[in-house]
Amino acid sequence: MTYTLYNRYGSGGFAVEAALTLAGAPFHLEALDSEPGTVLLESFRSINPWNQVPTLILPDGTMMTETGAILIHIADTFPGEGVGPDRGTSEHAVFLRWTVFMSVNIYEGVLRLIYPDRYTTEKEGEAGVVKAARRRNHEAFLVMEREVQSGTFLCGETMSGADIYLAMLCAWHDRHDALEDLAGCRALTHRVAGHPGVAPVWQRNFDHRLKTQWGRSA
Ligand SMILES: N[C@@H](CCC(=O)N[C@@H](CS)C(=O)NCC(=O)O)C(=O)O
């Protein structure tokens, strides 16, 4: 019944590792020897043909990719463990909405910032790709900001995998843009990073890689 999670410290598998930890799911972490922002070794393509992490192997051997899909799957597999609201509820609809929103809009935008050569055929086009991605990502964060201003979590009073996802993306965004107009997102990121169930995973992934020590102050 053991999961295998392929990640590299500081990359998107943080959110999956945090969710598995919250769920109490047994897992083995395969930490790839690769730095965030670089391309993975070609040999990893034999495990994930798209050559990205996170890659999760389920206990029956099924291979899963896509952070949002994995978070939703873990929430469904371990109901009541704080990864996501009960299926069929309005809170679950909210959970699905924001998890998918972050995958298709923000995470994808992060890739444009880091690997702009994939999004233009001209070398001189890369600076424009980065500039537009930074602007578009910030617009997406402003949409999220309205949801978290109340000081609670995306799906209400209880933290979920969607909040973990948002916190990770917000901490990354802090490296590329100013967060002055994202007070709610910043506060949520501190709350998630300082959550007792998440903090050890957060610190191992991010503390020595990010300029902000998330979770230490609100
Ligand atoms: N759509 C994927 C994106 C995953 C992704 O971009 N992962 C990065 C690390 S944060 C990666 O593997 N980068 C290597 C590459 O794209 O070559 C998801 O949502 O999980």
Q: What is the pLDDT of residues 91-112, one digit of tens each?
A: 999 999 999 999 999 999 999 9
User: What is the rounded average pLDDT for all residues in the chain?
Assistant: 95
Residue closest to 163 by CA, chosen among 172, 154, 152: 154
Kindly state the percentage of the chain with pLDDT values over 70. 99
Using the atom order of ligand 1, give the atom closest to the CA of residue 13: 10
Give residue 107's pLDDT. Answer: 98
Check if 40 has its Cβ closer than 6 Å to any atom of ligand 1: yes
Using the atom order of ligand 1, give the atom closest to the CA of residue 37: 13
Whether the per-residue pLDDT at 217 is higher than 90: the answer is no
Residue closest to 76 by CA, chosen among 64, 58, 92: 92
Check if 12 has its Cβ closer than 6 Å to any atom of ligand 1: yes
Whether the per-residue pLDDT at 69 is higher than 80: the answer is yes
Whether the per-residue pLDDT at 218 is higher than 70: the answer is no
Whether the per-residue pLDDT at 8 is higher than 90: the answer is yes
Which domains, from first to last, does the chain contain?
3-77 (3.40.30.10), 90-195 (1.20.1050.10)
User: What pLDDT digit, counting tens, does each position of 170-191 carry?
Assistant: 999 998 888 999 999 999 999 9
User: What pLDDT digit, counting tens, does each position of 122-168 carry?
Assistant: 999 999 999 999 999 999 999 999 999 887 899 999 999 999 999 99
Determine the distance separating the centroid of ligand 1 and the alpha carbon of 132, expressed in angstroms: 19
Q: b/e for 137-147, b at 16 or more Cβ within 10 A?
A: bbebbeebbeb
Query: Can you tell me the mean pLDDT for 67-93?
Result: 97
Q: Candidates 55, 111, 168, 172: which one to mutate for ligand 1, based on the most atoms within 8 Å of Cβ?
A: 111
Determine the distance separating the centroid of ligand 1 and the alpha carbon of 146, expressed in angstroms: 27
Entry pTM? 0.97
Query: Is residue 112 within 8 Å of residue 119, measured between CB atoms?
Result: yes
Check if 6 has its Cβ closer than 6 Å to any atom of ligand 1: no
Determine the distance separating the centroid of ligand 1 and the alpha carbon of 58, expressed in angstroms: 19
d(CA 103, CA 119): 17
Whether the per-residue pLDDT at 28 is higher than 70: the answer is yes
Q: Reduced to 3 states, what is the DSSP secondary structure of residue 157?
A: coil
Structure token digits, residue 58 = 């389920």
Whether the per-residue pLDDT at 47 is higher than 70: the answer is yes
